[in-house]
Structure 1
């Protein structure tokens, strides 16, 4: 337990940096949100076709952990976001992730260029499944592989 506490504790510098983060209220469709600026800025969409999205992404400093690797939370966020975008249908309610499974297979370092490929595995009624693979562009080494199950809320009949 003490080891876990030690790993999760922030240094004085990290505490200071976090205290300087300013998050203003977001006006939808007027300006970018904190999420868009922080988490998904820099993703370049290379190809979109039914059931497939292919993107590239250069690992930025804001998404690395203490060791200089792409943070596992950032990887989970990318997998969840790509799966949700792929399963989204115009005019339908937003998808909600109900299951997210990720295999972390190798590290990605600062400035590594990554390829993100998301495929729609299937859709049955209001449930969609996607598979997302993140690889290093230079070597083809798999960084992570994820599966995402999403539920689309039905519109109320009331």
Structure 2
């Protein structure tokens, strides 16, 4: 891969990882470094150190990056709840209470609220790892039945 000129070192490393390992670009930029701490029935707990590439000029984590973590960890917990699929998002709601800073460690905890025949709902909490202060609270509803396309 050609050397990336004028690109932040973290971004360049993420791009090389994406190129070398053929992982999705989204994953390389947004969730690279996400660590799974606990998986148990209906619950998943992950930790994440906020990389500078996901922060604004004030070094505060972008809301869209938080939403991506809520989406990803919220989807993954469906497997821990016994669903054979992560489904398709119907609704995602996030209340932002504060923002994490660059290089700060956070934790993302998702819990299954319920899984029915066709839909399921989870709650996701994003907290400062050291203090437990809630930074964001999300709720994620997904359609879990088989999806077919006529395209």
Is TM more than 0.5 here? yes
Structure 2 match to 1:108:
100
Structure 1 match to 2:66:
75
Instruction: Say which of 100, 110, 132 aligns to 1:118.
Output: 110
Which segments of 5 or more consecutive residues in structure 2 lack a partner in the other structure? Answer: 1-5
Structure 1 match to 2:77:
86
Cα deviation 1:47-73 (Å, max 9, x = unaligned): 101101011100001111222111000
Structure 2 match to 1:50:
41
Structure 1 match to 2:57:
66
Which segments of 5 or more consecutive residues in structure 1 lack a partner in the other structure? Answer: 1-15
SS at match of 1:74: helix
Cα deviation 1:68-123 (Å, max 9, x = unaligned): 11100000110011111111489945511110111100111001100111001101
Contact 1:129-1:148 within 8 A present in 2 as well: yes
Instruction: Say which of 120, 126, 144 aligns to 1:152.
Output: 144
**Structure (1 or 2) with the larger CA radius of gyration:** 1
Structure 2 match to 1:41:
32
Contact 2:117-2:145 within 8 A present in 1 as well: no
Could you tell me how far apart the structure 2 residues matched to 1:87 and 1:151 are? 11
Contact 2:118-2:143 within 8 A present in 1 as well: yes
TM-align CA RMSD: 2.9
How many residues in Structure 1 have an aligned counterpart in Structure 2? 137
Could you tell me how far apart the structure 2 residues matched to 1:121 and 1:91 are? 13
Structure 1 residue ranges, 4+ long, deviating more than 3 angstroms after superposition: 88-94
C-alpha spacing 1:116/1:94, structure 2 compared with 1 (3 Å) = closer
C-alpha spacing 1:88/1:96, structure 2 compared with 1 (3 Å) = farther
Could you tell me how far apart the structure 1 residues matched to 2:83 and 2:93 are? 27
